[in-house]
Structure formats: C-alpha cells, structure tokens
C-alpha cells in the first residue's frame, strides 16, 4: 500500500481551531500524523488519540444527525415516524455504544474504532453529575428530533430523493480553491430546477459563525455543481428551538468567503517550512504560538501536551 501523505488541506473547523490557537493545528494536523502506526512515537500516539476525542455537544450533534436522517428516509418512503421511534431505534443504541466504549476506556487499545468522551477521559464527572448530564442530553436530543419532524420535515417533504445531491460520494467532500484542498461537507443539499438548497442541522445554540460556515457551502455549490450564488439558498436549521436562519448566497458573499479562506490559508502556510504547502512540513513545535487565554486551554483536548509550556 502506498504511504499516506499528509497533504495541506483547509476547512472551516480547521480555521476555527487555528484562529483560537495555532498550536492546536500543530497537534491536530502534524504531530498526530502517523500516530496510528506500530512504530509511532509516544507523542504521535498521544496527539492522535487526543485529536479523536469527542465532547458532549459533538456527541449530541452526531446522535441527532443519525436519528433525523433515518427519520427523513422513513418519511420519504411514506412511513410515519414519531420522535420517540427515531430516538429509541437510532439515537439511543448509538449513544449507548459510544458511552460504553468511552467509559470502559476501549479507546486505549483502538481510539479509531471506539468513542472517547472528553468528560470521561478528564474525569470531570462524579456519578451524580454524569447522571444529570445524561438526563439533560437525552432531553436535548429528543427535543431536536421532535423539532425536525414537526418543523423541518413539512418544508422538506416535497423534495424528491432524486433531486438530492449525494453528499457522501467520493470526491463530494472537498473542492479545490487554487491549489488548496478545501474540505466541506454540507449536511443535506438538493438541486431543484432553479436553485441549489443547502441545509445544515444544528443541535446547539445559534451563532454568527454559522453564516460563515454556510457561505463556504455556497462556495462548495458553485465549485462542485456550478451553482449561481444568487440561486443558492442556505438554511441553518436550529433544531434545539426549531428556529431557522435562511438567506440567498450572493456574489458579494462569494468574494468575501474566498478572501477569508485565502487569508486563513496564508496564515496557516506561515507555520510551514519555507511556507511550502506542497511539502507541508511544519515548523518546529516551539514556533507554533500557544493560546493566551487559560479558558481555551482548559477546554482543549491537547492540554496535557501543552501543560509543560503553559505558564498558568
Ligand atoms: S492547550 Fe492551549 S495552547 Fe495548547 S493547543 Fe490547546 S488551546 Fe492551544
């Protein structure tokens, strides 16, 4: 098998992490590389394991996505689905498996195949706190599924599956902007006669940054599917409270989005040897800036790797 190459790639989440703290990108993209291999160093192995660690909100988002996509397919097939069914049949078994893997520490032997929840890894809960967290999350997930079936599905029910854009297909998960691979995977996209519609499911709170994220999907639609910006409709579905943010993409936002990505790519490139993206060799670890806000570090997966260098 040919050796895997760590090629330079950009994504919205990578930009978010890098903006918060360049060192996060060092651990999460470069130090972790090869951490799965038998001859990996201790640091590589640890960075690989920590980079795969999940948080409670991330787990919630995945559980909700699995349940609502199952519900969507069932309802498209003409079957009635209740939020309880979607929770019990899809979200709950998946969550139970993740929870067991995480709590039993199965990730110690295989962190790719087994979930590791940050709260378990860091020992953040006593029994009562864990019970309370589970109760709260189950209620959150059920509410999100309920809002999908009652508020979102009525707007999607007339879409034919034949008009859906295959999101998970090979090559669909990225596009090239100049020489840079941009990873972007919308949750749900549809092509109609006169528009491309992109929907993103959110199981957390509304945030301004979601507009930036969806605009990247607008750029994805143009680059991958030739969509005209004005005819690209973007929907952020806030499932927790059933609210919706929607707008039509525009040439102006397209330009701003491309400029923003280019600026972010240039900043990341500044941490590479000779600023060479093709080589993609990171500068030595000490040259990757650390976060200046202790709060960021306390909630960061890589805290134990940075600890010796942090002054707080
Ligand atoms: S622990 Fe702090 S300095 Fe280290 S990667 Fe995380 S945020 Fe950055």
Number of domains making up the chain: 2
Q: Are residues 58 and 149 in the same domain?
A: yes
Q: Are residues 187 and 240 in the same domain?
A: yes
Per DSSP, the three-state class of 175 is: strand
Domain contains 7: no
Measure 57 CA to ligand 1 centroid, in angstroms.
19
Residue where a domain terminates, one of 131, 156, 181: 156
Measure 23 CA to ligand 1 centroid, in angstroms.
6
Q: Which residues pair with 183 in a beta bridge?
A: 11, 174
Model pLDDT for residues 259-281, shown as the tens digit of each residue: 999 999 999 999 999 999 999 99
pTM for this prediction: 0.93
Residue where a domain terminates, one of 266, 282, 301: 266
Contact 21, 300 (CB under 8 A): yes
Q: Are residues 151 and 178 in the same domain?
A: no
Residue of minimum CA distance from atom 4 in ligand 1: 306
Domain contains 12: no
Question: How many C-beta neighbours within 10 Å does residue 246 have?
Answer: 13
pLDDT for position 1: 59
Q: Are residues 130 and 201 in the same domain?
A: no
Q: Which domain holds residue 178?
A: 161-266
Model pLDDT for residues 197-227, shown as the tens digit of each residue: 999 999 999 999 999 999 999 999 999 999 9
Residue where a domain terminates, one of 112, 129, 156: 156
Which is the closest atom of ligand 1 to the Cα of 310?
3
Domain contains 189: yes
Distance separating alpha carbons of residues 99 and 93, to the nearest angstrom: 10
Domain contains 224: yes
Domain contains 196: yes
Measure 301 CA to ligand 1 centroid, in angstroms.
8
Distance separating alpha carbons of residues 103 and 95, to the nearest angstrom: 12
Domain contains 291: no
* pLDDT per residue rounded down to tens, the chain (312 residues): 567 899 999 999 999 999 999 999 999 999 999 999 999 999 999 999 999 999 999 999 999 999 999 999 999 999 999 999 999 999 999 999 999 999 999 999 999 999 999 999 999 899 999 999 999 999 999 999 999 999 999 999 999 999 999 887 777 789 999 999 999 999 999 998 889 999 999 999 999 999 999 999 999 999 999 999 999 999 999 999 999 999 999 999 999 999 999 999 999 999 999 999 999 999 999 999 999 888 999 889 999 999 999 976
């Amino acid at each position: 098998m040919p050796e895997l190459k760590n090629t330079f790639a950009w994504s919205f989440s990578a930009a978010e992490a890098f903006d918060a703290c360049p060192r996060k990108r060092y651990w999460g993209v470069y130090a972790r590389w090869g951490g799965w291999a038998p001859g990996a160093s201790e640091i590589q192995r640890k960075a690989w394991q920590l980079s795969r660690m999940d948080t409670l909100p991330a787990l919630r988002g995945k559980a909700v996505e699995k349940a609502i996509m199952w519900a969507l397919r069932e309802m498209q097939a003409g079957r009635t689905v209740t939020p309880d069914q979607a929770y019990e049949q899809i979200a709950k078994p998946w969550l139970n498996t993740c929870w067991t893997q995480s709590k039993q520490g199965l990730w110690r032997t295989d962190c790719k195949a087994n979930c590791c929840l940050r709260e378990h890894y860091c020992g953040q809960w006593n029994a009562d706190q864990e019970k309370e967290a589970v109760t709260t999350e189950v209620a959150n997930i059920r509410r999100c599924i309920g809002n999908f079936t009652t508020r979102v599905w009525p707007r999607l029910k007339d879409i034919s599956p034949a008009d859906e854009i295959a999101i998970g297909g090979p090559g669909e998960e990225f596009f090239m902007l100049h020489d840079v691979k941009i990873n972007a995977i919308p949750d749900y996209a549809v092509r109609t006669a006169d528009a491309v519609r992109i929907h993103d499911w959110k199981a957390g709170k509304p945030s301004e940054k979601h507009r930036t994220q969806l605009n990247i999907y607008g750029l994805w639609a143009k680059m991958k599917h030739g969509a005209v910006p004005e005819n690209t409709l973007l929907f952020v579905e806030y499932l927790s409270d059933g609210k919706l943010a929607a707008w039509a993409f525009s040439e102006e936002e397209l330009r701003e989005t491309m400029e923003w990505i280019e600026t972010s790519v240039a900043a990341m490139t500044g941490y590479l040897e000779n600023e060479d993206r093709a080589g993609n060799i990171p500068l030595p670890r000490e040259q990757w800036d650390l976060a200046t806000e202790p709060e960021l570090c306390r909630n960061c997966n890589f805290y134990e790797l940075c600890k010796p260098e942090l002054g707080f």
